[in-house]
Amino acid sequence: MADTDLLIEELSTYLKPKDVEHVRVAIEFSREAHQGQMRQSGDPYISHPIAVARILTPLHIDAQAIIAALLHDVVEDTKVTSEQVAKKFGKPVAELVDGLSKLDKIQFETREDAQAENFRKMLLAMARDVRVILIKLADRLHNMRTLDSMVPEKRERIARETMEIYAPIANRLGLNDLHHELQDLSFKYLRPTRYAVLAKALLVARGNRREVLGKILVAIRKRLAANHIEADVTGREKNIYSIYRKMQSKSLAFSEVLDIYGFRVLVNDFASCYVAMGVLHGLYKPIPGKFKDYIAIQKSNGYQSLHTTLFGPFGTPIEIQIRTHEMHRIAEAGVASHWLYKSGHDSINDLHKKTHQWLQDLLESLSQSNDSSEFLEHLKVDLFPDEVYVFTPKGKILSLPRGATAVDFAYSVHTDIGNRCIAVKVNHELVPLRTELRNGDRVEVITAPHANPNPSWLGYVTTSKARSQIRHFLKTMQSGESALLGERLLNQALQTLGVKPQDMDEARWNKLLRDTGVKTRQDILADIGLGRRLNMVVARQLASISESSANETAANAVITIQGTEGMAVQFAQCCHPIPGDPIVGVIKSGQGLLVHTHDCPTLRRGRSSGEQWLDVAWDKNIHRPFAVNIKLLVADQRGVLAKISAAIAEAEANIKNISFTHEGEYSGLQFTLEVNNRLHLANIMRNLRKIPEVVRIIRVKNVS
């Protein structure tokens, strides 16, 4: 009962008496619903929702959210329904409770699938009403505080989920104290021995350094007062996980982490922040490179402060944060400052707009992920806490995760900019697309109308938006191109059976879709193009011809290769076929059509299961370059490379790559050229043979 009285007492300080009475009713409703239920710790279950509500009271959150916190488990764990909650406490409360309830009544194949779908539901509810996540974070914090009663395996799973998802969400919403406590509690259960050792070492250090820190505190206060700066100065201690992370990242022992303690200076106005910093830089020397201005360029969660590290007495580094009282309120309460400080100030309104935009962007990128592991990967990436701040050509500031590349920047500006990106300038200089961005970089993206995302980008992008948009584009493009190939393969099979493709009317297709359970004709054609379905089987189903009557030995119509099929048709890297080479097509499940030369050693090793071989031929009108490798043995003389390059250029070919080897008096040169066809290659080789220094020239087909 003591906890109930404390909750009512805390709520009475900021809620109207009528609202407090509604909360009393909710407490009794929850107590009755959970009657007879006990927690793993042995406490009555009602102790948990009351504790969750008490965690929220310092944020001065409204009565609806407090009631939802008290009822957050009743629909999930008792016989109470959402309709009953709505009838007694109103629809907004019922919607909050529904957003907090897990999808337990749906059966998932794996725990990962269930986890992904529950997070998806929570984020959707959070986008509608941010109070959902505030209650969920309070719920998770109390569960972490009482995690000792769980079995070790469950403790570790919950702690890992908290460290990877809930603590970063708290950080992203600017809930500073909650973020640090979730981190420390997660660390305690994930690395219990290290946590215990560090906690003990911190306790000892606190006593050893008390006198020095006291002197520094007095010196800072005196210097600020002497310069007529009104300020509240307090000492602060880094949380245990932050200390551990610093030890890990910089390979330090605990005794080498000197800035465990810092100081916070709160002043009255914006200008006093910079004046106070100048005064303190006169008191102790600043450490170069250790100054950060989060006032001019605020963090994406609304955090604003000046950070500087000074050489204190006895060579002790002192970390100081300087900000206004209003900045401090937002730094401590984050998005919850909306309820805590009902001033309607621009900073708070701006923070809410940014939070809403972040949620919309997050949901947009996550909506592209159908796979649960992909969804969780995108979610964790987006919650990555460290940030860099870069500028657009017009001076707008964008925040990106540390390690973000130029491609991430392009997608953060707009999805179409990312998809059409071909080059990028950083600080007016052309750089590779994989270049990692640094604080203060000015980034300009160069686009082309017909450019497309490159699959290799997935190897270095870091933001979930870029990763999901690239994957979505590639899947869509592959599906479309595979469908075109599938249609050609199906038509070939129908002609083999003596059936005209144009005779396959809508009724036959609709029957096939019903029989196979596939949604669209496009899906079937894409499956054929990707090798997931056999063209002959689909043709028989469409033509309603039994397998026994089909003449599989009939002369097949040959598939023509145009070179413009995109991802659906790939040219084998083992033999590099070019127009004019005799070729064979192989369909492997999920990979589409792979074209080899007819004498490719890879083919000679034997057909593997799941492969379908096809007769293919080059289209007569191909207008695109193909990569081909040639190797030359040349006399090692000055100027020979220039002669060879000139001969290749004269034959209107492009050099993509050159590699060298030395063989005594001779050099081996291997070129990757872009040629139109086999005749074009023959002309190039003819030109090269005219060079006296060229001893031998061969085409290299088998390059892995």
76 annotated active-site: yes
Give the DSSP letter of residue 442.
B
Give pairs for 37-44: CB < 8 Å, separation 24+.
Answer: 37/77, 37/78, 39/146, 39/149, 40/146, 40/149, 40/150, 41/146, 41/148, 41/149, 42/149
Place of tokens 């995109």: 566
**Closest-CA residue to 471 (of 361, 337, 380, 377):** 377
Residues shown for the chain: 704
Q: Inter-axis angle of helices 210-226 and 270-283, to 10 degrees?
A: 120
Query: How far is Cα 486 from Cα 480, in angstroms, rounded to an integer?
Result: 10
Query: How far is Cα 245 from Cα 259, in angstroms, rounded to an integer?
Result: 13
Residues 6 or more apart whose Cβ sits within 8 Å of residue 409: 390, 398, 400, 424, 437, 443, 445
Phi, psi of 318 (to 5 degrees): -120, 120
**Closest-CA residue to 173 (of 284, 396, 304, 332):** 332
Give the DSSP letter of residue 460.
T
Report DSSP letters for 124-165, one per residue: HHHHH-THHHHHHHHHHHHHHHTGGGS-HHHHHHHHHHIIII
Phi, psi of 551 (to 5 degrees): -100, 95
Q: Inter-axis angle of helices 91-100 and 63-70, to 10 degrees?
A: 50
Phi, psi of 438 (to 5 degrees): -120, 160
Catalytic residue among 77, 112, 156, 444: 77
Strand order from edge to edge, sheet including 569-571: 559-561, 611-618, 583-588, 592-597, 569-571
Catalytic residue among 3, 62, 76, 156: 76
77 annotated active-site: yes
Q: Which residues are catalytic?
A: 76-77
